Amino acid sequence: MRRIKIFDTTLRDGEQSPGVTLTPEEKLAIAHQLARLGVDVIEAGFPIASPGDFHAVRRIAQEVRGPTIAALARAAKPDIERAAEAVAPAENKRIHTFIATSPVHMEKKLRLSPDEVVARARWAVGYAKGFVDDVEFSAEDAGRSDPDFLVRIFGEAIRAGATVINIPDTVGYQTPWQFAELVRYVIENTPGIENVDVSVHCHDDLGLAVANSLAAVRAGATQVECTVNGIGERAGNASLEEVVMALYTRRDVFGAETGIRTRELYRASQLVARLTGMVVPPNKAVVGANAFSHESGIHQDGVLKARETYEIMDAELVGREAAVLVLGKHSGRHAFKKALEELGYTFNDEEVTRLFTRFKEVADRKKQVTAEDLVALVEDQRTRAPEHFKLQDLQVHSGTALTPVATVRVATPDGEVTEAATGDGPVDAVYQAIARAVGLRPRLEAYRIEATTGGTEAVGEVTVRLRNGRAVVTGRGVAPDVVEASARAYLDALNKLVAGVGAKASVEAP
Ligand SMILES: [Zn+2]
């Protein structure tokens, strides 16, 4: 079996998804889950893009153990230096530098001749090599580049010390046949390529990112770049869970394996969906709500008789078996701590105390707290922005014949403020009242509510996206009462706006 490396770029390319911004805490939570999942490389960010990105990469490099931590850098001195500084604390670190190699990018964007591009690539790899041993070089828009030019530039990058060369289909233009041919051509003709990893990075503009990545593996690629749930620029990247499960389920065809602990896939998917606010469509392969549901009577009958009649993978294998763990209002701190450990979380005593308080508030109002509820609570708590504004009290009156009225009491740095407002519905009334109380009026771009488990007594989880000028933030709130969850989500987003985490830098990347 060939060992294929999984390079996860959820935190870099994935975070470039329109409307997605992640705080450093959120990035760290995802990075920990990626480490649990067993990815080989975490591309943690693009440090030159913003101070926030730099600090997130640096914290991940300090705290997350297991995978190699990579940072992206254009082929320029300040980029490489900033990337080197950000990944410095990591056990295993990589600088990923890139330059565009397609005629249209070289002429129109870079305004450099092919010779100048080669010289710059050689220089960038050599310069990065001065900081780290592990240097990846990407030829941006390789999918539309001249294959012979790719062979030339990759050969130079390898001579300068590159340990990985990456062939990105930046614009998602390739087809599996062509892309496999290109990968094969590069492998057959580039001097020194047998000593380095050959990586691919595919985009999903034509829905072919996974197919192209798999075709590349068959053609000899040894690393696949992908994201959880396939999020990323435009139509997104190759979906990690699909690539991994295709390689596993059809190992007869690929003769390849990854180091991924597949039982962590579902949880990774849920976490990324929750923190980015990018919902997983129900029909999404592997992790969608319907991926293992059988509707037709004939299928149901078949599965009951023998699962393999209509199922090619085990739901359990991707971590989808509902956890049986249930806590209630009489559960003590010890049981609570043990439950957290079973879910894979380790917290210090102070954190456990804080989480336990919140758990008690929920358990007092809801008979059973399931594993899903608990995960929602934990992720909600540990990714919250510092509470500049804090909800103290909330009252809402609504009904079919009433104009909804909300009264909120909010703690602010200038003391408590109480405000009331009417609205089109109870949530609208609450948002109007909060906006008055805090003196901010950002635009509500998205509002979504979900139940953590089925049933009317599930915990409600609300996600909102707010825009204020160029800043876009996502807030979440979890509570048994959906109006309260809505208020918490809105305040969480406002706290992020105040903390200044939503300003997105726009630096182009592969
Ligand atoms: Zn990309």
232: domain CATH number is: 3.20.20.70
Residue 508 alpha carbon to ligand 1 centre in Å? 10
Give 299's contacts (C-beta < 8 A, 6+ positions apart).
Answer: 309, 310
Contact 99, 121 (CB under 8 A): yes
- Give the other-Cβ count within 10 Å of 333's Cβ: 14
Q: State whether 406 and 348 are in the same domain.
A: no
Lookup result for tokens 């539309």: 144
What would the 3-class secondary structure string for 58-97 be? HHHHHHCCCCEEEEEEECCHHHHHHHHHHHCCCCCEEEEE
321 part of a folded domain: no
Lookup result for tokens 């072919």: 208
- CA 234 – CA 507 distance, rounded (Å): 15
- Enclosing H/E stretch for 441: none
- Enclosing H/E stretch for 234: none
Residue 16 alpha carbon to ligand 1 centre in Å? 9
Q: State whether 355 and 413 are in the same domain.
A: no
Q: State whether 370 and 266 are in the same domain.
A: no
Identify the CATH number of the domain in which residue 468 sits: 3.30.160.270
Q: What is the pLDDT of residue 507?
A: 55
- Enclosing H/E stretch for 122: helix 114-129
In 3D, which of 183, 190, 203 has the Cα closest to residue 162?
190
Q: State whether 338 and 395 are in the same domain.
A: no
339 part of a folded domain: yes
Q: State whether 87 and 161 are in the same domain.
A: yes
Residue 236 alpha carbon to ligand 1 centre in Å? 8
Which CA distances in Å does 57 have to 64, 81, 286?
10, 13, 29
162 part of a folded domain: yes
Residue 225 alpha carbon to ligand 1 centre in Å? 9
Lookup result for tokens 């192209």: 212
Q: State whether 41 and 146 are in the same domain.
A: yes
Q: What is the pLDDT of residue 260?
A: 98
Q: State whether 217 and 337 are in the same domain.
A: no
13 annotated among ligand-binding-site residues: yes
Q: State whether 376 and 464 are in the same domain.
A: no
In 3D, which of 391, 397, 413 has the Cα closest to residue 475?
391
- In Å, how far from its chain's centre is CA 476? 16
Q: State whether 268 and 402 are in the same domain.
A: no
Residue 404 alpha carbon to ligand 1 centre in Å? 46
Q: State whether 52 and 33 are in the same domain.
A: yes
184 part of a folded domain: yes
Residue 163 alpha carbon to ligand 1 centre in Å? 20
201 annotated among ligand-binding-site residues: yes
Looking at 276, 310, 335, which one is the last position of a domain? 276
Q: State whether 199 and 342 are in the same domain.
A: no
- What sign results for the dihedral spanned by CA atoms 78, 84, 89, 95? positive
- CA 345 – CA 375 distance, rounded (Å): 9
283 part of a folded domain: no
369 token code pair: 């707290």
298 part of a folded domain: no
Looking at 218, 246, 276, which one is the last position of a domain? 276
Q: What is the pLDDT of residue 480?
A: 86
DSSP 110: I
What one-letter code names the amino acid at 303?
A: V
65 part of a folded domain: yes
Lookup result for tokens 């701590």: 337
203 part of a folded domain: yes
Q: What is the pLDDT of residue 301?
A: 78
Query: With the CA atoms of 23, 389, 484 and 465 taken in that order, what torsion angle do they form, in degrees rounded to the nearest 10?
Result: -40
- CA 121 – CA 217 distance, rounded (Å): 25
32 annotated among ligand-binding-site residues: no
Length of the chain: 510
Q: How many domains in the chain?
A: 3
Which residue positions in the chain have pLDDT lower than 50? none
- CA 386 – CA 382 distance, rounded (Å): 10
**In sequence order, what E strands does 29-172 have?**
41-45, 68-74, 93-100, 134-140, 164-169
Q: Which residues are registered as beta bridge partners of 420? A: 407
Q: State whether 78 and 223 are in the same domain.
A: yes
Q: What is the pLDDT of residue 324?
A: 57
Range of the domain at 341: 326-382
Residue 431 alpha carbon to ligand 1 centre in Å? 37
Q: What is the pLDDT of residue 17?
A: 86
Residue 169 alpha carbon to ligand 1 centre in Å? 8
Looking from the CA of 508 toward its CB, the CA atoms found within 13 Å total 9
Looking at 382, 403, 423, which one is the last position of a domain? 382
